[in-house]
Amino acid sequence: MSHRIILSPGARADIRSAVAWYRRLDIDLPSRFIAETQAILRRIAQNPKAFPIVRNVTRRALMNKFPYIVYFRLHANSVVVRAILHQRRSHTISMTRRNGRK
């Protein structure tokens, strides 16, 4: 069973920020980042319990080609993505977001 993915406003902002950063470095990087983000979100939707719990009920998924972590919570039939952060940023940002907002 595939779970529905819900991106919080904070997660959407994280994606926009990363895309803007990569656009400054190379014209091809934003599309590659988006493709990688879509791939990890598909993996999460298919099997969210395969990813470790890092705090309370928040789980994390590491991207393969970019140094980003997806923080999410599993609900009955959906997955709420709370943050998509660079690995060097503190993961406490994702833990302190309420309703997916900073």
| Per-residue three-class SS string for the chain | CCCEEEECHHHHHHHHHHHHHHHHHCCCHHHHHHHHHHHHHHHHHHCHHHCCEEECCEEEEECCCCCEEEEEEECCCEEEEEEEEECCCCCHHHHHCECCEC
Regions of the chain where pLDDT drops below 70: 1, 90-102
What would the pLDDT profile of 10-20 be if each residue is shown by its tens digit? 999 999 999 99
Dihedral angle computed from the Cα positions of residues 2, 6, 10 and 11, in that order, rounded to the nearest 10 degrees: 30
Per-residue pLDDT, 101: 47
Name the amino acid, one letter, at 47.
Answer: N
Give the start-to-end residue ranges of the domains of the chain: 4-96
CATH architecture group of domain 4-96: 2-Layer Sandwich (3.30)
Beta strand 68-74 pairing with 58-62: antiparallel
Question: Residue 91: what pLDDT?
Answer: 58
Note the pTM of the prediction, 2 decimals: 0.87
Determine the pLDDT at residue 94: 52
Residue with tokens 């302190």: 96
